Amino acid sequence: MTTDDSETIVRFENVGLRYGLGPEVLQDVTFSLAAGSFHFLVGDSGAGKSSLLKLIYLALKPSRGLISLFGRDIATTPRRELPAMRRRVGVVFQEFRLLNHLSAFDNVALPLRIAGVRKSDIQKHVVELLSWVGLKDHLDARPPTLSGGQQQRVSIARAVISRPKLLLADEPTGNVDDRMAMRLLHLFEELNKLGTTVIIATHNSHLVEKMGFPKMHLDEGWMEIVGADTDRASVPPASEPGPGGGLFDDGEEDEIRPDLEKLF
Amino acid sequence: MFARRSDLPLDKDALSRFLPWLIAFMVFLAILAMAGMLVLNATASRWDQGIRSTLTVQIMPAEDPAKDDERLQAVLSVLAQLPEIDRYETLTDDRLMKLLEPWLGPAAGSRDLPLPRLVDVELKTGAVLNAEVLSRQLAALVPGTSVDDHRIWLKRLVRLIQTVEGLATLVLAFIALATVGTVVFTTRTGLDIHREAIEILHLIGAQDSYVAGQFASRAFSLGLKGGFFGLLLAVPTLLGIGYLAQQMDSNLLPEITLGPVHWSVLAGLPLVVSLIAMVTARITVMKTLSRML
C-alpha cells in the first residue's frame, strides 16, 4: 500500500483478534482509511463488525498486528494520551450505552464537558442538536423513559456533538423509521463533507446500495473493501457531493439536510 | 440542566450509604483518642517542667534542738550562693504539720515530735543543678541533710503518661488506617457497580483523573457529613467525661480540661478524615483505572 500516514485516519496491518483462547474473530485484517472517507461496514451477524469497531475506538487491543489511529501506532502510544485520541472519535453504540441517571441533555453534553467546553457553549450546541434530531421536548428526559429510537438519536447526538475526526456508528438507524434514518444519515454525510471520516456498520443493504459509498465487507473474520476506486477507500473531497447526494427529492432534501454551521 | 455535578450515580451505591456512618464512628473514636492525647500531653509537659525546676532540701533535726536554726541557716547560706536557684523558701512548722496530718493524724500537731526542716527550692528556668552533688555538699556541711530530687518519682509518672500518650497516637494511626481501608473497599465497590458508566466515560475520552475526581469529591463530601456527625457525638461525650472528672475531685487525676486550641484541633479532625477519604478514593480509582485500556 502506498498510503501517506499524514492523511490516513485508520490503518490496520495484519490485525487478528481473539477473545481469550477462542478462535480468531478477525483474521489478518489489513486496510487504511483516508481522512474524509465514508464507508459502510457490512457483513452477516457474528462476522466481527462490532469487534472491528471496538478495535478502532480503542475498547479492545488486537491479539496481533498493528493498528494506527490518526497516524499513531496505538501499541506504542502512552496510555495517558489515549483519552485525547478517543475525544477525536465519536461512537454510536449499537446498544446506545447512554447513562441512565443523566438526562438526554446531560448525556449529549458529556463529551463537551469532558473536553472542558464552557457551560454557555454546551447549552447552545446541545439544545440545537437535540432539537435537530427531534428531541427538543425531551431535553430533561432520562433514557429509560425514551423509546428505542429516541435513545438512538440521543446516542447519535452524543457521538457527533464534538464534531469528531472519526465517526463510528454501529447500526445507527436500526430503531428509527425510514425518514428519521435518512435524516440521521444526512447528518453523517454533512459531517463527512466537513472532513469527518465515517464508518457505519449496518445490515441495511438497501440503504448501503442507495447511498453508494464503498463497503468494508467482513466475512468470517476476513475483510475486503468493495466499491473503492483505489486500494485506499475514499470519497471525493469535502467540497463535492458524496455518492449519497441526490437521495431525496429537492424539497425534501432541504428539509432534512442539517445546517452544520448552525448546529455546531 | 446542570443540577447534577456527577456523571456517575454515586449517591445510590454502597459508598454513599455506609461511608458516612463508618466515618462518623471513626471520627468519634479519633476525637476521644486525640482529646486523651492532648490532655496527657499537657499534663506530661506540666509535670516535666515541675521535675526540672523544683527540689526539696531536708535537714534532719539535730540532737540538740537549739542547733536546728543554726543548721538551717548554714544550708540557706549555701543555697543563696548558687546561681541556678531562683527562689527558696523554708516551710513553716504549721505547713509542715499540715502536710503530715493525713499520715500521722492529730499527733502531727504535737510540738514534741522532732520534725525535719524542709526548704522548697525553685530553680531558674532552664537551669541545671546536679541534685546529687548538692546533696553531698550540704551533707558535708550539715550532717543529716539531703536533697530530695523530684525527678526520681515524677520521671516515672511522666514516662507512664508518655506511654499512654503513645498508645493514643497508635490508636489514632489505627483509626486512620481503618478509614483508609474502608474507603478503599467502598471505592472499589463503587467502581464495580459503575463499571459500565466508567467505561462509557472512558470511551468518550475522559481521563482517569476526571473519573477519580468524581469519586474523590464524593468521598470528601460523605467524609465531611460523617465527620460532622462523629463530632456531634464526641463533644457531649468529652464534656461528660470532664464533668465526671471534676466531680471526683482527686488530686491524683490530671486536670481534664481542653483549651480553645485543643477544641480547634478536635473540630478540625472531621476535615482531616474527609481529606484522607478524598485522597484515598482518588488513589484507589487511579490505580484501578490504570489497569484498564
- pLDDT tens for A159-216 read 999 989 999 999 888 777 777 787 778 888 888 988 899 999 988 888 888 888 899 9
Q: Which three cell numbers stand for residue A200?
A: 457505519
Kind and range of the H or E element at B138?
helix B131-141
Quote the mean pLDDT of chain B: 84
Interface contact A124, partner B, CB < 8 A: no
**Contacts from B76-85 at CB under 8 Å and sequence distance 24+?**
B76/B119, B78/B137, B78/B138, B78/B141, B79/B119, B79/B121, B82/B129, B82/B134, B83/B124, B83/B127, B84/B123, B84/B124, B84/B127, B84/B128, B84/B129, B85/B121, B85/B122, B85/B123, B85/B124, B85/B127, B85/B129
Interface contact B3, partner A, CB < 8 A: no
The yes-or-no verdict on residue B108 having pLDDT over 50 is yes
Interface contact A117, partner B, CB < 8 A: no
Residue B72 within any structural domain of the chain: yes
Of B12, B206, B293, the CB nearest to A114: B206
Residue B14 within any structural domain of the chain: yes
Of A83, A105, A158, the CB nearest to B1: A105
Domain boundary among B143, B166, B187: B143
Residue B41 within any structural domain of the chain: yes
Quote the CA–CA distance of A137 and B142 in Å, as a whole number.
106
- Report the SS3 class of residue B170: helix
A15 or B160, which is more confident: A15
> For chain A, what is the domain count?
2
Q: Are A112 and A136 found together in one domain?
A: yes
The yes-or-no verdict on residue A234 having pLDDT over 50 is no
pLDDT in tens, B183-195: 998 888 888 888 8
Nearest to B65 by CA among B108, B110, B105, B111: B111
Q: Are B184 and B39 found together in one domain?
A: yes
Chain B 174-203, residues with CB within 8 Å of chain A CB atoms = 196-197, 199-203
pLDDT in tens, A83-120: 999 999 999 998 889 999 999 999 999 999 999 898 88
Interface contact A91, partner B, CB < 8 A: yes
Q: Are A119 and A103 found together in one domain?
A: yes
Q: Are B187 and B270 found together in one domain?
A: yes
Domain boundary among A163, A186, A217: A163
pLDDT in tens, B211-239: 999 999 999 999 999 999 999 999 999 98
The pTM of this model reads 0.73
Q: How many residues comprise chain B?
A: 293
pLDDT band at A225 (very low <50, low <70, confident <90, very high): confident
Residues 6+ apart with CB under 8 A from B52: B123, B151
Which structural domain range is residue B33 located in? 10-47+155-289
Quote the mean pLDDT of chain A: 83
Q: Are B276 and B216 found together in one domain?
A: yes
Calculate the alpha carbon distances from B199 to A97, A135, A159, B211 in Å: 10, 26, 15, 10
The secondary structure of A165-218 as a DSSP string is SEEEEESTTTTS-HHHHHHHHHHHHHHHHTT-EEEEE-S-HHHHHHH---EEEE
**Chain A neighbors of B1, CB-CB under 8 A:** 103, 105-106, 123, 139-140
Q: How many CA atoms lie within 13 A of A264 on its CB side?
A: 16
pLDDT in tens, B117-167: 899 888 887 777 788 888 898 888 888 898 887 767 777 877 888 888 889
Q: How far is A59 from chain B (nearest CA, A)?
A: 7
Of B2, B12, B204, the CB nearest to A114: B204
Domain boundary among A136, A163, A190: A163
Q: Are A113 and A139 found together in one domain?
A: yes
Q: Are A48 and A121 found together in one domain?
A: no
Q: Are A158 and A174 found together in one domain?
A: no
pLDDT in tens, A24-46: 899 999 999 999 999 999 988 88
Q: Are A171 and A255 found together in one domain?
A: yes
Domain boundary among B143, B172, B205: B143
Residue B243 within any structural domain of the chain: yes
Strand pairing report for A38-43 and A197-201:
parallel
pLDDT band at B272 (very low <50, low <70, confident <90, very high): very high
Q: Are B265 and B179 found together in one domain?
A: yes
Q: Are B160 and B226 found together in one domain?
A: yes
The yes-or-no verdict on residue A259 having pLDDT over 70 is no
Q: Are B25 and B97 found together in one domain?
A: no
pLDDT band at A260 (very low <50, low <70, confident <90, very high): low
Residue B161 within any structural domain of the chain: yes
Q: Are A170 and A254 found together in one domain?
A: yes
Q: What is the CATH number of the domain that holds A233?
A: 3.40.50.300
Residue B275 within any structural domain of the chain: yes
Q: CB count, 10 Å around CB of B292? A: 13
pLDDT band at B270 (very low <50, low <70, confident <90, very high): very high
Quote the CA–CA distance of A37 and A215 in Å, as a whole number.
11
Interface contact B210, partner A, CB < 8 A: yes
Residue B100 within any structural domain of the chain: yes
Q: CB count, 10 Å around CB of B42? A: 17
Q: Are B228 and B279 found together in one domain?
A: yes
Q: Are A141 and A82 found together in one domain?
A: no
Q: Are A174 and A190 found together in one domain?
A: yes
Q: Are B93 and B132 found together in one domain?
A: yes
- Bridge partner residues of A73 (DSSP): A68
- Which residue reads 525546676 in cell numbers? B53
pLDDT for the residue numbered A252: 46
Domain boundary among A146, A163, A180: A163
Q: How far is B290 from chain A (nearest CA, A)?
A: 8
Q: Which three cell numbers stand for residue A201?
A: 456498520
Q: Are B166 and B39 found together in one domain?
A: yes
Which structural domain range is residue A241 located in? 5-88+166-263
Interface contact A143, partner B, CB < 8 A: no
Contact A80 B202 (CB under 8 A): no
Q: Which of A99, A122, A128, A165 to mutate to test the interface with B (most CBs of B within 10 A)?
A: A99
Q: Are B171 and B35 found together in one domain?
A: yes
pLDDT for the residue numbered B114: 77
Is ipTM over 0.95?
no
Strand pairing report for A38-43 and A215-219:
parallel
The yes-or-no verdict on residue A5 having pLDDT over 50 is no
CA dihedral B6, B8, B10, B13 (to 10 degrees): 170
Q: How far is A78 from chain B (nearest CA, A)?
A: 11
Q: How far is A109 from chain B (nearest CA, A)?
A: 10
Q: How far is B194 from chain A (nearest CA, A)?
A: 10
Residue B3 within any structural domain of the chain: no
Q: CB count, 10 Å around CB of A235? A: 25
Quote the CA–CA distance of B203 and B99 in Å, as a whole number.
82
Among A105-109, A118-122, B2-6, B44-48, the range scoring the smallest mean pLDDT is: B2-6
Interface contact A141, partner B, CB < 8 A: no
Task: Summarize the confidence of residues B21-45 as an average pLDDT.
Answer: 88
- Which residue reads 478517543 in cell numbers? A86
Q: How far is A160 from chain B (nearest CA, A)?
A: 11
pLDDT band at A2 (very low <50, low <70, confident <90, very high): very low
Nearest to A1 by CA among A74, A68, A49: A68
Task: Give, in degrees to the nearest 5, the angle at Cα A66 between A70 and A86.
Answer: 35
> For chain B, what is the domain count?
2
Contact B201 A83 (CB under 8 A): no
The yes-or-no verdict on residue B200 having pLDDT over 80 is yes
pLDDT for the residue numbered B111: 66
Interface contact B293, partner A, CB < 8 A: yes
Q: Which of A97, A142, A166, A167 to mutate to test the interface with B (most CBs of B within 10 A)?
A: A97
Q: Which residue of B has its CA nearest to A88?
A: B205
pLDDT for the residue numbered B256: 64
Q: Are B19 and B123 found together in one domain?
A: no
Domain boundary among B85, B109, B143: B143
Q: Are B211 and B200 in contact (CB under 8 A)?
A: no
Q: Are B174 and B249 found together in one domain?
A: yes
A182 or B77, which is more confident: B77
Interface contact A83, partner B, CB < 8 A: yes
Q: How far is A99 from chain B (nearest CA, A)?
A: 6
Q: Are A185 and A245 found together in one domain?
A: yes
pLDDT for the residue numbered B2: 36
Q: Are A170 and A215 found together in one domain?
A: yes
What amino acid is encoded at A154 in this protein?
A: V
DSSP class of A50: H
Q: Are A81 and A176 found together in one domain?
A: yes
